[in-house]
């Protein structure tokens, strides 16, 4: 197998990963990502289809994988595993305990997919890597995972929120975005009490209820929000 064949095989695998990771991918996006022509991507997609991978073309939009179709897990390279371990150290010192737990569970699953030699290496890296300036950082929230679920599924939430003056109010809000700051996570949400977008610090949320009721998604991007409210 020549270098060109190896590169193409690597690209086909990476394209498959992209199709599994995103609901829709365009040929232009893939061509830019892999530094090849759009025509090359067309050939790659045909090759994947010929191999039995169910890829659907949405005219004028892009490609998507058949719903529910999944390939076996792709093995991580040593450098990829090491990068995840470095990120793990940052997450372990995050101020939200729910994020720490979820990421720790996820990284354990990733480590379990490695062979013995790679597993020993990433565990050694975990033991020998530490961001000392965040070592003593205390957790001040436990709602990030719930808010992520509410944001992606458009669930309403009820919160008890303490403002800067120490006043506690009950709010029904529509989660829109999550922002990370030096001191805390910020939830951007449409507040039905104030009839406007508001920023809520997660460490000031006293109680939170995830409701089964959904809301209509807001038709703007985060960039649009910053332009309007920044």
Whether the predicted pLDDT of 194 surpasses 80: yes
Give tens-digit pLDDT for 24-36: 899 999 999 888 9
Unique residue bearing structure tokens 């950082």? 137
Q: What is the pLDDT of residue 3?
A: 53
CA distances from 166 to 11, 95, 162, 169, 191 (A): 55, 21, 5, 10, 18
Whether the predicted pLDDT of 132 surpasses 70: no
Whether the predicted pLDDT of 212 surpasses 70: yes
Q: What is the pLDDT of residue 90?
A: 74
Structural domain boundaries in the chain:
3-65, 78-134, 144-229
Q: pLDDT-derived band of residue 1, with 50, 70 and 90 as boundaries?
A: very low
CATH 2.30.30 fits 144-229, yes or no: yes
Using only the alpha carbons of the chain, give its radius of gyration. Answer: 22
For the chain, give the mean pLDDT.
Answer: 84
Q: pLDDT-derived band of residue 126, with 50, 70 and 90 as boundaries?
A: confident
Tell me what the mean pLDDT of segment 8-27 comes to.
Answer: 84
Tell me what the mean pLDDT of segment 168-176 comes to.
Answer: 96
Q: What is the pLDDT of residue 6?
A: 61
Give tens-digit pLDDT for 79-113: 877 888 778 777 777 778 888 888 888 777 777 66
- Total-model pTM: 0.61
Whether the predicted pLDDT of 175 surpasses 70: yes
Unique residue bearing structure tokens 């805390």? 184
Asked if 179 and 188 touch (Cβ cutoff 8 Å), the reply is: yes
CATH 1.50.10.10 fits 3-65, yes or no: no
């Amino acid at each position: 197998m020549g270098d060109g064949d190896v590169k193409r095989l690597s690209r086909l695998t990476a394209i498959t990963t992209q199709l599994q990771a995103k609901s829709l991918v365009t040929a232009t996006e893939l061509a830019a990502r892999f530094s090849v022509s759009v025509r090359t991507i067309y050939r790659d997609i045909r090759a994947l289809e010929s191999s039995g991978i169910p890829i659907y073309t949405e005219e004028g939009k892009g490609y998507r994988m058949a719903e529910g179709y999944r390939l076996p897990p792709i093995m991580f390279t040593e450098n990829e595993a090491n990068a995840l371990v470095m990120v793990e150290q940052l997450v372990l010192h995050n101020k939200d305990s729910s994020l720490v737990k979820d990421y720790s569970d996820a990284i354990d699953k990733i480590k379990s997919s490695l062979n013995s030699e790679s597993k020993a290496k990433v565990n050694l890296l975990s033991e020998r890597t530490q961001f000392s300036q965040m070592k003593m950082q205390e957790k001040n929230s436990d709602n990030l995972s719930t808010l992520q679920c509410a944001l992606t599924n458009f669930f309403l939430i009820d919160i008890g929120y303490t403002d800067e003056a120490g006043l506690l109010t009950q709010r029904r809000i529509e989660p829109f975005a999550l922002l990370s700051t030096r001191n805390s996570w910020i939830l951007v949400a449409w507040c039905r009490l104030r009839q406007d977008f508001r920023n809520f610090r997660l460490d000031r949320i006293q109680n939170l209820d995830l409701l089964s009721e959904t809301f209509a998604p807001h038709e703007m991007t985060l960039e649009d929000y910053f332009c309007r409210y920044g």
